[in-house]
Structure 1
């Protein structure tokens, strides 16, 4: 059976009346980029707090952060997403649950994926931050304390500036995972890039063109992120630290 390639399909109007097929991909890409950037920004903040908490002398704080990290790291993202979308609204007070169910469906789906993806990614980022902090020689923190700096000041001015530079490469990998993991949004109905690609392939009967285009879009964005983060890594590298090499 011979397949007829038609790359002009992206400039043809959709049978659903949603505009050109190419615009469907563009809308999906915008959802993916917005979701990934916002989730990673929030995850970095939460992961920084949780990662620092795992290295503090307070046992209760360490225990709470450890429980959070292990719970979210050791369960599949898809399971967590289904819990946030289907189970959590039923466990909330009636008014809150009804408010979630009556939200605009797209907004509800976006917020659900944002929460799930943020907390899942933050748990991984926290482990990277912890590893970065522990790679900084302990003598530096002790010297800072000896100079009169408290724990907060020692972390802020001595430990974290070095640790965050060290963990840039693994954090870059985590960001790429956020971008790729955003495809799970399709499972609860959010039409991000993968979802729009599947719709395009079904409506246009041109699956090869649709998925090849989506593949190149994913590759182009991930490569751009890698190039950008490598430049940042070179600019902030701490001379002499193995982790930054």
Structure 2
């Protein structure tokens, strides 16, 4: 298990993402009970707000909807996360935009780490906590600022992250109007959630896996140390000497 901890981690993340897709799949197939069980389980990891989620099996392969569209379709304004979707509009993913980006990039980063390790490039990831902590903290800071500004916008009622009027002033309204408003695919809010989620996922891999590799021993896929006939331990791979 120690030798294969990275593939095991990648497999676990893949199954986790598969479960998020299985929730709307079961619901669309009329298997409401297993679908609701999955939505409930994933609800412990995500807010699952419909206006910030991808919908599957609707008019398009992947689609997003505005709050007004969802309210018209029957979403409860007091408890919006309970709204799963409908046969006409599709059903929401078990994870919202940002969490989808985080877990997807964690898995992609883990796969890349495994491949680079097999190409013997992983040795460049020597463990230096100061070096790896900086980009991770920067990514977390960006995500905190983005999420915190949304929370402040909602709690204060100012709504400055609803229409992003401040961004219109900064850009001189050079971008298409839909970019500034709402949370749909292609909007500024969607872009920031996706980018910050991807950055946190990739930098988490960049920061954590090299440290785990050192603690668990060796690079991913490397053979175990062997024992010679004289009882001396020899490494299955050569080491670079500094």
Shorter-normalised TM range: 0.3 to 0.5
Report which of the two has the higher share of strand.
2
Normalising by structure 1, we get a TM-score of: 0.32
Larger RCO of the pair (alpha carbons < 8 Å, separation 6+): 1
Normalising by structure 2, we get a TM-score of: 0.32
